[in-house]
Structure 1
Amino acid sequence: MSASKRPRSRARRIVWIVLLSVAGLLVAGILGIVIWSQVGVMGAEAGPLASVREDDRIAVSDTGGNVVMSPSSGESTVGLVFIPGAKVDAESYEAKLAGLVAEDGMTVVITRPWLNLAFFDPRPLSTFTDAAPDVDTWLVGGHSLGGVRACQLAPDADGLVLFASYCANDLSGSGLPVLSISGSEDGLSTPEKIQDARGMLPADAEFVEIPGASHASFGDYGPQAGDGTPTIDDPAMAAEITASVAELLPRL
């Protein structure tokens, strides 16, 4: 081999080594995310979940991979697509949202985000509204990280509800009816963070801060690291959520 060819051969080997190293790091990173997303998933507490499944006013089904709660009467014209927080099971929210179905006649579709993380789920809103084709007016909402994703889907909905969450994208000029429900004891989506992101929402957005509610008060999956200590009980919390959303419905 000539002297001129040896440097080129050496350069090609270096390029291949670099490319293989980068590919290995990418594969390792992807595998790490997948593994992390499946570890420590917060499941639904048995008692609250059973109370929903035993309520004859509510029909619960698994449609297209989503949990769908609808009035047993079959009559529903307004729906809510609800996106869970990071690594929280869909069923963990059934009890807190059950009043919207039983008392207000809404249909609630609780999604199952890819990898248990809403940011990794690129599916459009229609993927979830198709689970209840007879409903013609749709709110989109979510808890924590699920609410951030709901903000991204909001332009395709008739309204937005944030549950202990806030938007990272600007909806201030959207004209959407928006409701933000938060907790005074939330250690994650703190009252300060909710206030700081207020400018991302329309000027007439409604804000409800529930006294004594923590971040985990919006579901039934147990305590959450970094959260505050709630002083409100589960029935009162569910009633506050139901009443708050009901006040938004006339604006749709």
Structure 2
Amino acid sequence: MTSYVIPPAPQASVPVAGTADRFPVHRIYCVGRNYAEHAKEMGFTGREPPFFFMKPADAVLPVAADETGRMPYPTLTANLHHEIELVVAIGKGGAGIKAQDALQHIWGYAVGLDMTRRDLQNDMKKQGRPWCIGKGFEASAPIGPITPVAQAGDVEKAAIWLQVNGTDRQRSNVHQLIWNIAETIEHLSAAWTLQPGDLIFTGTPEGVGAVVRGDVLEGGIDGLGSLRVALT
């Protein structure tokens, strides 16, 4: 039996839709600028090679179905942005996975938010420094229940949307991804060995913007339900 000098941190996990089971989180990978219109609003065009950043596993803010998650407004920022995303949950690991085999590695899908301290991210970009402070803070990855693949429907053609206080902010379709789910897994697994429990935030459509304390964010993806988060 292993003896630890301090108590190990609790295992980060996400609820599984329709059950009492939990999905254990290993790593969180995120794809940058993976919808064409969002790339344009961020000042980029074209199908550039995909790039990735990471959040710590315990950045997840799991929200059960029919509940409202409570996200503390983070420190050091005056420009917190929402980014609604399809999340892919990996059930079978591997390295060098080819796109034609990639879907076999997926356990399920979920609705997630990549919350971003945009002012800090932009400052880091200007200085040529890593963006971790803008992306990887506590509760920066709210996520709804994971729906198993067999119950998720045609995710690659699903509508994706986000409202803030009942007003549309983001509305698109997953088929607008620049790099689709299988291609993303191929690129990602060339750089890292994917493990069961990894989450992949696949990118956000256009319409990102600032939110403040008291705002209620509600987003969804067809077939995967919705995610509701209040900023406190």
Structure whose residues are more often helix by fraction: 1
Larger radius of gyration: 1
Please, what TM-score do these two structures have when normalized by structure 2?
0.29
Structure whose residues are more often strand by fraction: 2
Please, what TM-score do these two structures have when normalized by structure 1?
0.27
